[in-house]
Amino acid sequence: MGIRRLTLASLGAGLAAGMAASAAFAKELEGLPTDKAIHLQKGFSELKHDAVSFHDLILMPVITVITLLVLGLLIWIVVRYNKRTNPVAAKFSHNTAIEVAWTLIPVVILVVIAFFSFALLRKYNDMPTPDVVVKATGYQWYWAYDYPELGVEGVESRLLPEARDLKTAHAAKVPYLLGVDNELIVPVGKVVQVQVTGYDVIHAFALPAFGLKTDAVPGRLNSTWFRAEKTGIFYGQCSELCGVDHAFMPIAIRVVTPEQFDAYIVKAGGKTKAMLATEAAAARIEAEKAAADAAAASSATAASATADAPAGEAAVSAAAPAVQ
Ligand SMILES: [Cu+2]
């Protein structure tokens, strides 16, 4: 799991304690939100690792330093400049040096954040060549998955009825509000491109373990990608308020081995990449043979037609003015 189960009291102990807690509480529950967890969900894709690093190494230190600075200043003002310790208030209204400083320092901080932020955005945007393309369509209130290249369409994924209620979910051992009937099946270690769209209103395809969050907008195809580092089931949820059952349209991705993925595709009535490649090769041989036959036939025709050539030319020149 690796999610830091920090209590508020232990927060003060700082980042080091957080790291220790993270290791200590790591157990088999992965790809799920966890009770009392405070940190981001553990990542299982490169994009998520980068997003977590950006959060932990850039954003958190900046936030912490600014918060402590402001807190320190507040305490200093309260203690040093209250009515008792400072009965005569100062009368000056501004200080140019300090105003320049409190304008420029935030600008520098924002530029530093932007630098790392854009690097991460770029990584999301520069997708490697996908091994598998999946189309995820948001409906009120479920998801449907297609594998457009492999000929599998309309796999509907709905919340399990027993997952709707905490008690029945626990009894059935399915994750509360997350368990679905048909998970999105993808192979481990492969680049999966997810094309995201909406059928009726705007939804959002979000899954923390892979760092995914992409709007599903009707009439528009957004895309995102991930490469799952391990097999297992990972959960996310629709993340754009989309109506009364918004909370009941989870996203579940089951990561399997490439062999299991191929078997799933075949079972679902599609064709694997290998099957398509074999078919394409056969079609190419067929086409080459047809072209060779046609060439042989046309050379034979040409030989027999040589005698008629002057008549043919006359016909072409007679037809030419009509074309203009
Ligand atoms: Cu939705």
CATH code of the domain covering residue 254:
2.60.40.420
Domain total in the chain: 1
Q: Which residues of 216-254 are buried (b: 16+ CB within 10 A; e: fewer)?
A: bbeeeebbbbbbbbeebbbbbbbbbebeeebeebbbbbb
CA 51 – ligand 1 centroid, Å: 24
CA 178 – ligand 1 centroid, Å: 13
CA 136 – ligand 1 centroid, Å: 12
Identify whether 220 is part of a domain. yes
Residue 66: what pLDDT?
A: 95
φ, ψ for residue 146, nearest 5 deg = -125, 150
Residues in the chain predicted with pLDDT less than 70, given as ranges, are 1-29, 303-324
CB distance 228 to 113 below 8 Å: no
In the DSSP assignment, the letter for residue 225 is E
CA 146 – ligand 1 centroid, Å: 17
CA 124 – ligand 1 centroid, Å: 22
Residue 306: what pLDDT?
A: 59
CA 173 – ligand 1 centroid, Å: 24
Identify whether 310 is part of a domain. no
Parent domain of 239? 132-273
CA 189 – ligand 1 centroid, Å: 28
Identify whether 208 is part of a domain. yes
CA 247 – ligand 1 centroid, Å: 8
Residue 3: what pLDDT?
A: 41
Identify whether 192 is part of a domain. yes
Identify whether 173 is part of a domain. yes
CA 205 – ligand 1 centroid, Å: 8
CA 86 – ligand 1 centroid, Å: 57
Other CB atoms within 10 A of residue 80 CB: 9
CA 222 – ligand 1 centroid, Å: 15
Q: Which long-range contacts (CB under 8 A, 24 or more apart) does 241-247 make?
A: 242/138, 242/140, 242/141, 242/201, 242/202, 242/203, 243/140, 243/141, 243/201, 244/141, 245/140, 245/141, 246/141, 247/177
Residue 147: which of 207, 89, 198, 192 has the closest Cα? 192
CA 202 – ligand 1 centroid, Å: 7
Identify whether 235 is part of a domain. yes
- Cα distances (angstroms) measured from residue 292 to each of 150, 271, 282, 288: 31, 30, 15, 6
The reported pTM is 0.75
CA 252 – ligand 1 centroid, Å: 14
Residue 297: what pLDDT?
A: 86
Residue 307: what pLDDT?
A: 53
Identify whether 185 is part of a domain. yes
Identify whether 308 is part of a domain. no
CA distance 196 to 214: 7
